[in-house]
Amino acid sequence: MKKILYFLLTVFCIVGVSVVNNERVHAAAPSATIKITTLETGVFDETLEQKMITLSKASPVIVLSEADGWAEIQYKTVIGYIPSEYLKSAPPQYMLVQAKEEPLVHVTNNEESDIKGKLHLNTIVELYGSATADFVFVKYGRIAGFVNKQAIVKPVSKAMIVKNSNDLVVREIASSSSTEIGVLRKNSPVKMLTNLKGWAFVTTDKLSGYVLTNGLVTSPVVKEKPANPKPAKDKKIALTFDDGPHPKVTKQILKILEKFEAKATFFVVGQEVKEHPEILKAVYNAGHEIGNHTFNHVKLTALSAKEIKQQIQATDTLIKSTIGQRATVFRPPYGSYDKTITDQLNVPNVLWTIDTLDWKHRDPKKTVQAVKEHAKNGSIILMHDIHQTTADALDEVLATLQKQGYEFVTVSELLGK
């Protein structure tokens, strides 16, 4: 115990401490070290005897120091001690900051809590642990705390290589004065997750961080035939869902699609995206394709050219601001279109080959039957992710098609786009 107390005294002398609401908050460290709890555990005070709070399994904490089998950690506004054996290092998930304005990083998962700083737009942050209802725990350099989860999205990677002319310094954040964490040798292959103001975030199997963009070039695409290629599946079918996202039904459909490892295309309505952006993010992050289905689900052939443009562009803008990219396909409400409409499209206009009429009969058995009777290679199946009866039918629909040997692909994959 004397050894521990001596260690604590030393730490207190080295690290600045202030008092906020009767709780200790350490001065900002050069860089936060994040670990994850491996089981439910208590956080103890300096005596190592009085429990202050209990953390659940997989809680992310800031590790301030470790000695004699104990780790001094900060969780929200609480600083205390956890046995080191109950913590583990965990690889972060890299996420892209994308919002209307720079999101604030809070000490706790509460908008009213103290602010640690801001995150610059289009930077990559490290995501740790599981999300709460509205917040996630992230780290960017010396800043670590809670941010609104709607402010981050899954980035799209691009293959790059380091230029031949020189090695490339990797830094912790997008600044030439930030900590150097490694060097990438010339011709090293990397994946670039963002590109902003002369800096790119890159990742490899061993190293991840920010580099100067001018030190990278696009990786040439090399197509190699596998030594023992597997025969390609020749039965493909595209599942499509219109009129969402829905706060309840869409979530159920995503779980069923995941169960069957199926990909689908969701034709979303702008006004629903505006109401439920987090659901659209969940659809996109699960690897599904996003299509534009207008803003108000109106019959476009009854509108003027200007009104048609507004319906399409408003939805595209909203989709891009939510997930970081525009819709890749378009479907007109009621399947009603003409040349005035298609002339305004920059993506394929997609209808369907099988209408389950799930919106009309609201009967899971009839939805399943429609698929069984009409499914064939290359079919595009129309359903709606706003009806509970559609979610109720989906498991049997997928099981039936899977037994028949179908591969579930997006519309763009089916059309070879």
* Cα 191 from Cα 379, distance rounded (Å): 35
274, HSE (Cβ side, Cα atoms, 13 Å) = 11
CA 132 remoteness from chain centre: 14
Geometric angle at alpha carbon 275, from 273 and 276, rounded to 5°: 65
* Cα 374 from Cα 355, distance rounded (Å): 9
Phi and psi at residue 311, in whole multiples of 5°?
Answer: -65, -40
* Cα 139 from Cα 61, distance rounded (Å): 11
* Residues in contact with 250: Cβ distance below 8 Å, sequence separation at least 6, in sequence order: 241, 244, 266, 276, 279, 282, 283, 385, 386
**Going by DSSP bridges, is the β-strand pair 23-26/60-67 parallel, antiparallel, or unpaired?**
unpaired
Report the candidate in 97, 95, 154, 146 with the shortest Cα–Cα distance to residue 120. 97
Instruction: Count other Cβ atoms within 10 Å, centred on residue 137.
Output: 27
Place of tokens 């009967």: 363
* Cα 137 from Cα 41, distance rounded (Å): 19
Exposed e or buried b for every residue in 172-193, given b needs 16+ CB within 10 A?
A: bbbeeebeeeeebeeebebbbb
Residues with catalytic function: 242, 384
* Cα 178 from Cα 140, distance rounded (Å): 12
**Going by DSSP bridges, is the β-strand pair 152-153/143-148 parallel, antiparallel, or unpaired?**
unpaired
* DSSP secondary structure code for residue 260 in this structure: T
